[in-house]
Amino acid sequence: MNWNLPEWFVVTLARTISDREVVFHGFGSPCAQVAMHVARRTHAPNMLLIEGAMYAVNPAPPFVPPTSNDQALKYGAAYSMRFEEFFDAACRGEVDRMFLSGGQIDPYGNTNVTAIGPMNRPKVKLGGGGGGCNISATIRHLTLWTTRHRSGRTLVQECDFITDVGHRTPAGSRVDLGYTGGGPAHLVTELGVFDYGDVGRARLVQIFPDVTLDEVERSTGFELQVSPDLGTVPEPTEEELEIVRAVDPLAVHASEFDPSELDRTFTSEPAIA
Amino acid sequence: MFVDHDKVGDLPSAAARVSDGDMVALGGGLSARLPMALVRELVRLGRQDLHLVGSAHGMDVDLLVAAGAVAVCEESYVGFEQDLGLAPSYRRAAEAGQLEIRETCCVTILTQLRAAQMGLPFLPVRGVKGTDIRRMHPDYAEIVCPFTGETLVAVPPLEPDVALIHAPMGDRVGNLHLEQPYVLDEHFARAARQVVATVDRLATTEEVVATGVTIPGHRVSVVVEVPFGAHPTSCYPGYAYDRQHLAAYVAAAGQAQTAQDYLAEWVTRPGGEDAYRAALDQDRLDRLMSWSDTIEEWKELFV
């Protein structure tokens, strides 16, 4: 059995979902999107899957298109929520999990999707955060992800701009801010997996087997904390891999990665020379 | 409200209802059902200093910025997702300090539109507090809830001067049928001072009613039939998005000069919107329209 890093990454995201959760991904998030379908078809058959910008409930898309407002994404859904119907549910605390990414992510899980550099003259104006500035406060759990950890510019000590809230901002903790959601539970990167421990700060708990701790440390812009139980990211099953490929035949999820990451391939049997 | 029985107009005079400096709400979202024919017409009219508002947008905002029509951008996102990346003209103008960015959040703008619809001076939101979006907005404030004592962010009503909405079908009264996602279009229609609508096809009232009225005619001030009025974005059930055209636009928009070349070739060339449509590859349009024939053909449109 062979697989590549993007496939493994998607399966790892999928495993952050529990059965019976109400789960949402934002637009421009094909890794999270495919992961939700993998979870629903494997260990979380009773989750409520709310599909990106279509707000379609439990659809069965025949493929994942490279844009999130496409009708392919409501294919097979009995119902699609209205915009306000989804966001009201998210603000009210009825959504259990959302996937969030960022151009910068700090140790507390705050994310920046607005701008790198000063806001009046940014070095890079990023796209913006969609609904995250409100619903990151109220959704029960957040799974963060980035495919750009290795760049060294993504995991930073301090975000240039906080668009979406993690466990604490300079203005205070989630409790201080009156935020009803639990904040980031995991951060999955192309190098490994972090949790947020008891104190709401990123802590490396798993690492991909072709990555060294030194590489992770060099790529991380804040002091790397490592769990005493650091392990290897569990391998995907054959079933999970088949579902990744069936859900996303155009491999849109792979477009989130730097091309060099696509060369990372793995096999569950020792290679025979 | 707009009580006329026949609101059919032409594209130049419909777009001319937008004045320089207006707050303009953009219907649709990302690369779906953006009011592109109206956007192109605003460029042809040379409109300036617009304050654009919307949720998650793409080529509509980028094209208007490239044309120098925009002073303020107030969206929750502007870009082309992971596929085609950041919005080049928007990015260039923001980085040069030529554009006032008042980035918002889908929930905040929805709440502001609701306040306008309800005739209220503000409504609170749960989030935003502690983020830099809050610091970017001196127009927001804090309020203490009289019941719970919580401090919440209060946001003012948002009442666009004009909402630009494209629909696959509508009648002469301005009754519009939309396919989901409606995004903020229904809210824009209720909160804006007027709605300027384009439809791919004018139909009888009976047909629009049978298909379902999403936005009622009494909210619409003018309706214009513009086939492929959302191109190169999608307008289901009519056509999928034209990924090739969008990719070519994003490539052109990457440099200021080639962005101007795109505008000259596709937007400001003589002949207006008819010339735009005539310049499109008919075989390509046929394929975009036949998305529903087979899953395989639909999928191929995205490669």
Give the pLDDT band (50/70/90) at residue A71.
very high
Question: Omega into B237 within 30° of 0, i.e. cis?
Answer: yes
What pLDDT is stored for residue A41 in this prediction? 98
List phi, psi (to 5°) of B39: -60, -45
Q: Residue A269 has what pLDDT?
A: 73
Chain position carrying tokens 């409606």 = B182
> Is residue B237, in this structure, part of any structural domain at all?
yes
Average pLDDT of span B97-122 = 98
Tell me the nearest-neighbour CA distance from B144 into chain A, angstroms. 12
Nearest Cβ partner for A169 among B30, B130, B179: B130
- Report the pLDDT value the prediction gives residue A270, as an integer from 0 to 100: 56
B114 lies in some domain = no
Prediction ipTM score: 0.97
Q: What domain range includes position B212?
A: 11-103+159-289
Cβ–Cβ below 8 Å for B81 and A27: yes
As a three-state string, the secondary structure of B21-50 is CCEEEECCECCECCCHHHHHHHHHHCCCCE
pLDDT at A7: 98
Does A52 have pLDDT greater than 60? Answer: yes
Per-residue confidence (pLDDT) for residue A272, from 0 to 100: 58
Q: For chain A, give percent helix, strand, coil, nearest 5.
A: 30, 25, 45
Mark yes or no for CB contact A71/B182 under 8 Å: no
CATH of the domain at B261: 3.40.1080.10
Stretch B19-39: mean pLDDT, rounded? 98
Section A201-223 average pLDDT: 98
Is position B183 within any domain? yes
Interface residue A80 vs chain B (CB under 8 A) = yes
Indicate whether B118 pLDDT > 60. yes
Q: Which residue of B77, B166, B296 to mutate against A (max A Cβ within 10 Å)?
A: B77
Contacts with A133 from chain B: Cβ below 8 Å: 105, 107-108, 127-128, 131, 133
B153 falls within a domain: no
Section B124-135 average pLDDT: 97
When CB atoms are compared, the residue of A29, A122, A136 closest to B94 is A122
Whether B142 is covered by a domain: the verdict is no
Cβ neighbours of A163 in B, within 8 Å: 103, 131-133
Is the CB of residue A234 less than 8 Å from the CB of residue A9?
no
Residues of A in contact with B75 (CB under 8 A): 128
**What's A253's DSSP letter?**
G
**Helix ranges, B23-131 (H):** 36-45, 59-66, 81-84, 88-95, 106-118
Chain B, nearest residue to A120 by Cα: B97
Q: Name, in order, each residue with C-beta under 8 angstroms of B14's C-beta and a sequence gap of 6 or more.
A: B38, B41, B196, B198, B222, B223, B224
Work out the mean pLDDT of chain B and round it to a whole number: 97
Average pLDDT over residues A85-95: 98
By percentage, how much of chain A surpasses pLDDT 90?
96
Please write the tens of the pLDDT for every residue from B236-249. 999 999 999 999 99
Q: How far is B149 from chain A (nearest CA, A)?
A: 11
Q: What is the mean pLDDT of residues B177-198?
A: 98
Asked if residue B89 belongs to a domain, the reply is yes
pLDDT band at A120 (very low <50, low <70, confident <90, very high): confident
> What pLDDT does A273 receive?
52
Q: What does the pLDDT average to over B192-197?
A: 98
The pLDDT of residue B27 is above 60: yes
Whether residue A271 is predicted with pLDDT greater than 60 in this model: the reply is: no
Determine, yes or no, domain membership for B75.
Answer: yes
Question: What backbone torsions phi and psi does residue A95 show, to the nearest 5 degrees?
Answer: -110, 130
DSSP for A135-202?
HHHHSSEEEEEES-GGGSSSB-SS-SS--B--SEETTEEHHHHT--S--EEEEEESSEEEE-TTTT--
Q: Residue A18: what residue type?
A: S
What is the total count of domains within chain B?
Answer: 1
Tokens 């990302």 correspond to B30
- DSSP secondary structure string, B186-240? HHHHHHSS-EEEEEEEE--HHHHHHH--SB-GGGEEEEEE-TTTTTTSBBTTTB-
Beta strand A184-189 with A172-173 is: unpaired
Contact A165 B182 (CB under 8 A): no
Q: Are B177 and B212 in contact (CB under 8 A)?
A: yes
Q: Which one-letter amino acid corresponds to residue A106?
A: D
Q: Which amino acid is at B190?
A: R
Q: Which sign does the torsion angle of CA A136, A80, A36, B54 carry?
A: negative
Structural domain contains residue B137: no
Map out the domains of chain A with their CATH numbers: 2-258 (3.40.1080.10)
Mutate to test the interface with B, among A69, A112, A175 (most CBs of B within 10 A): A69
